[in-house]
Amino acid sequence: MGPGPGPGPGGGRARTGGGGGGGGGVSSGGGALRGAHARPAGGGGGRGGAFSLLIGRGRGEWQREPAERVPPPSCPLLRARRPCRSGGPTTAPSRTATTTRSGRKATAMRRARSRPCIRNVYTSKIISSDRDLLSVVFYGTQTNKNSADFKHVYVLQDLDNPGAKRVLELDQYRGEEGQALFRKTFGHNADYSLGEALWACSNLFSDVRVRLSHKRIMLFTNEDNPHANDSAKAKLARTRAGDLRDTGIILDLLHLKKPGGFDISLFYRDIINVADDEDLGIQPDESGKLEDLMKKVRAKETRKRALVRLNLYLNKDLSLSVGVYNLIQKAYKPYPVKLYRETNEPVKTKTRVFNGKTGSLLLPSDTKRAQVYGNRQIVLEKEETEELKRFGSPGLFLIGFKPLSMLKQHHHIKPAQFIYPEESLISGSTTLFNALLIKCLEREVMALCRYTIRQNTPPRFVALVPQEEELDEQKVQISPPGFHVIFLPYADDKRNVDYTEKVPASQEQVNKMKEIIQKLRFKYRTDSFENPVLQQHFRNLEALALDMMEPEQAEDLTMPKSEEMSRRLGNLVEEFKQLVYPPDYNPDGKAAKRKQAYDDQADKRPKIEVSEDSLRSYVQAGTLGKLTVPALKDACRFYGLRSGGKKQELIDVLTEYFNKH
């Protein structure tokens, strides 16, 4: 994907460069929107990418700081994804190449950070993006191995799917023995050319004959001016970077820390794809830790894809185009693949419909759809059912504005979405969107709209809640500017809840609880807590793929830190218990059973929300379908009927029962 739309409310464009990680590196792949003013995250996973991790050496020999830690030369990893063969339109695969190179002033500890980053990319892609293609290329080596016979460029792994064999090949260069093997195998030579390294990555892309959705090159380095004393090589690197840009290959920079800071304007301003109106002095911090480097790599990998693009109609004659994004989406375990037990080859599942009486195979044109209503079976053709699902053209249709104070927490009914202008569809959308957002923020109002995401989707009533762009101290975007799409409930979605009588708390009890809450406050960040079930699942898969003795145990960060909480609270808990509970209160004791006369015992049959007369009238009118599934199940259990199955089965059971009684 290319750069995002023009300046939004925050004033920035989607940049096409990046921050950086260690050593000099080249990478291709993911098609993610980058930079401080990038548009929001997209709707889901999308197709994969290609990574080329290139780890090179700076001028001079490797230094040992500490003595036994010696970094390897450059290594790029290329990744691409094959087209999807399932139904629907085919999206081309993508690749990412990553190049890493360390300057001579960098410490060995800093250089070593990019090595586990390569392995982590491989292991994560084995699990999350099985159709990605990856390659590893080194530059700054003494030996060379590439199709163009460039000096000091070594293609360790050609572009292919990540697998256990490739990860194990990288693992042999871990540890002190691995470093010694690396130096012996590849050596080091500072007379390399960054332009030729980029050229080698481009050749790897060209050798793949499948269509690719996006290409990316990630450049890891802590050398901000690699060819300071060689203008010819610097010119070649700039020329090759321009050629890559013309062919649709995105070049990202991820830089490691170096003494004195990393100055992007010395060389990489002309290499990476930075928007013309961006301030080059505002760049993300250099990565000083492996966690920082991996965080940036993961940000590059994430697809920023619009869920859908549609128009926001302000009136009949005025509209603008927006993209709809999912800022947050629940992560699930990947679906298991069915294999043939004899050969372990993937199998395809096909569904066929047969006539229950004759056993003959039915074609789609032979089937119809029906629903019972008023004791009659209403039969519809397939075309009629599709026509019933159409409620108008897709889009957001403005109804009016309401104060933000009228939006309550209990109005939440499903996860919200996010809209951002799409200048490519309607020219001027960004300017109009910007004006609307600023006025909504100034007046603290929300826009109410009728929202139809697709032609065959029922319309929803939504509120567009404005959000101002938020930047951190380094001018890197934390929150994008735009509108949150909050889905509002219909009247049918509301339920009546019987509230029990509340016992009021005294002011002393309330004040004591305030003290407890204040002691247990902490800064919450959504990216600080990983799903422990998913993490352990992925670690188990990694252990199986890499033939590990046992999987690594994932840390459950959702467990409360009891010792730390007790240390913070001190005696507050005991003081609160004395204020609230009676003196003989025992939290571990069992509640005493209330004695009750036999004739006063309540009916053991479950209570139902709908009376028998109402159920009978529903059956006679054929409108049992208006009741919810829980209400139907309660009614079935009340009358001793089978309460399992789908909604229509529950309706049939109740209908049969009341017709007989």
Q: What is the per-residue pLDDT across 83-105, written as a single tens digit (0 to 9) for each?
A: 333 333 222 333 344 444 433 33
Is pLDDT above 80 for 146? yes
Domain with CATH 2.40.290.10 in the chain: 306-494
> From 3.30.1490.20, 3.40.50.1370, 1.10.1600.10, 1.10.10.10, which CATH number describes the 529-589 domain?
1.10.1600.10
* Residue matched to tokens 């003959």: 360
Q: What is the token pair recorded at 272? A: 């990476």
The pLDDT tens digits of the residues spanning 460-509 come to 999 999 999 988 776 667 788 999 999 999 988 888 777 777 788 899 99
What distances in angstroms separate CA 608 from CA 153, 491, 653, one per listed residue?
75, 22, 16
Helix (H) or strand (E) holding 464: strand 460-467
Domain with CATH 1.10.1600.10 in the chain: 529-589
Does domain 306-494 fall under CATH 2.40.290.10? My reply is yes
Instruction: Name the phi and psi angles at 312, rounded to 5.
Output: -105, 110
The pLDDT tens digits of the residues spanning 248-271 come to 888 877 777 677 777 877 888 777
pLDDT at 304 (0 to 100) = 64
Nearest-angstrom CA–CA distance, 556 and 539: 13
Is pLDDT above 50 for 9? no
- The arrangement of secondary structure in 50-301, i.e. its CATH architecture, is 3-Layer(aba) Sandwich (3.40)
The pLDDT tens digits of the residues spanning 301-355 come to 555 678 899 999 999 889 999 999 998 888 888 788 899 999 989 999 888 999 8
Amino acid symbol at 202: S
DSSP state of 627: S
* Residue matched to tokens 């037990």: 341
Say if CB 397 and CB 454 are below 8 A apart: no
pLDDT at 15 (0 to 100) = 33
Angle at CA of residue 537, ends 533 and 543, nearest 5°: 145
What distances in angstroms separate CA 647 from CA 324, 369, 381, 613, 651, one per listed residue?
33, 16, 22, 21, 6
Amino acid symbol at 387: E
The pLDDT tens digits of the residues spanning 21-43 come to 333 343 333 332 333 333 444 44
pLDDT at 607 (0 to 100) = 57
Is pLDDT above 90 for 276? no
Average pLDDT over residues 577-581: 89
**CA torsion sign, 103 to 108 to 114 to 119?**
positive
Say if CB 180 and CB 172 are below 8 A apart: no
- The model's confidence at residue 174, banded by pLDDT at 50, 70 and 90, is confident
The pLDDT tens digits of the residues spanning 429-441 come to 999 999 999 999 9
- The model's confidence at residue 113, banded by pLDDT at 50, 70 and 90, is low
What distances in angstroms separate CA 639 from CA 602, 623, 658, one per listed residue?
17, 19, 10
What CATH number was assigned to the domain covering residues 612-660?
1.10.720.30
Amino acid symbol at 187: G
Helix (H) or strand (E) holding 446: strand 445-452
pTM: 0.61
Say if CB 413 and CB 472 are below 8 A apart: no
Say if CB 77 and CB 118 are below 8 A apart: yes
Interacting residues of 428 by C-beta distance below 8 A, sequence separation 6+: 320
Say if CB 25 and CB 139 are below 8 A apart: no
Say if CB 190 and CB 233 are below 8 A apart: no
Q: What is the token pair recorded at 43? A: 């709707």
pLDDT at 590 (0 to 100) = 60
Amino acid symbol at 512: K
